[in-house]
Structure 1
């Protein structure tokens, strides 16, 4: 198999994790993970559900993130999927189910506990959640610009406090100016 990047050198067999055989590009250090290898490794993992909270990890976007890549197995152009959950890069998935990760991406996924969820990243629900996170971040940034960081933090705390308060409606009416203190 040839690397989908660089000068398309032959891929070298490596073990990303105990029991997970992948193929690394000797030039770019990216990894090709065939679907069957990932499925076999994943099936051997403990049953608990991994967490995937929004995190801030020092994950950089590869210089190859925007480069269309061809599947090392089929030669077809792979589809790109945004990871989200605090990670800025995209993974490339082949119609064969195999995944290409640029250098450092496996380590970034692993540091967030997402390496065990790689098979879900290309699904519609995952991609919808990524778009939702982006929309919420945009709204938050706009509110912060308009209201200031301090006021937005106080309003966010107040919103959380009022969420289940028995007198929520009265408090909201007061904030709207319809009630007297």
Structure 2
């Protein structure tokens, strides 16, 4: 098979880890991983269970879409975590993942080597989008209110949300003059 990344190398049988069979490009060093082979390897290596750590290391990431080396169809680019812009390429048509040279090590260093199949799920991808959206709003509010005021209003909001009389308290806070019968 021809390499989807460099398009000059050929994919040959190799191992990322002991008994973890992949096809590696003899040109760019990328790896074609079938999820079926990954799951077999993972079942025998529970030490690679998911560890929640920040992924800050970024490698070279191909901007253009890659074609699946098996089906020839365009692969989806999926984020691995919210802390990085790095993405892996996934071919749903054959259940394969293209890992650029160094991406397996990035997954290992990030505690995500045991979660490759989980990263491919819509649930994981949705969680990343929600976390990034929350971070964006946090930054916008901090910019608008300033750090000190934003921290204060967050404490007030948390207290108000948990208070049994939150509706009455909101009405009191929003009233132009809570001590007047006219307004």
Q: TM-score, normalised by structure 1?
A: 0.77
Deviation at 1:73, TM superposition (A): 2.2
1:73-128 CA deviation, whole Å, 9 max, x = no partner?
Answer: 22222222222332312211111101001232222222222221111222221221
1:133 alignment partner, one of 131, 134, 137: 131
Change beyond 3 A, Cα 1:16–1:174: farther
Q: Is the 8 A contact 2:48 2:111 kept in 1?
A: no
2:107 to 98, 106, 109: 109
Aligned to 2:69: 72
SS at match of 2:50: coil
Task: List gaps (5 residues or longer) in structure 1.
Answer: none
| 1:88 counterpart (75, 85, 90) | 85
- SS of 2:2's equivalent in the other structure is coil
- Cα distance between partner residues in 2 of 1:116 and 1:42: 6
Corresponding position of 1:4: 4
User: What residue is the counterpart of 1:58 in the other structure?
Assistant: 57
Mapped partners of 1:127, 1:46: distance in 2: 23
- Indicate whether 1:34 and 2:34 are aligned: yes
CA shift, 1:161, in A, is 6.7
Task: Quote the Cα distance in structure 2 between the aligned partners of 1:139 and 1:170.
Answer: 27
Residue 144 of structure 1: SS of its match in structure 2?
Answer: helix
Query: Larger C-alpha radius of gyration, 1 or 2?
Result: 2
Q: CA deviation at 1:25?
A: 2.3
**Change in 2 beyond 3 A, CA 1:8/1:49:** same
Q: CA deviation at 1:39?
A: 1.6
Tell me, which stretches of 5 or more residues in structure 2 are unaligned?
A: 179-183
After TM superposition, give the deviation of residue 40 of structure 1 in Å.
Answer: 0.9
In the alignment, which residue of structure 2 is the partner of 1:23? 23
Cα distance in 2 for partners of 1:129, 1:6 equals: 31
| Cα shift at 1:9 | 0.9
Instruction: Check the 8 A contact 2:24/2:32 in 1, yes or no.
Output: yes
Q: Secondary structure at the match of 1:138?
A: helix
Contact 2:50–2:113 (Cα < 8 Å) also in 1 = no
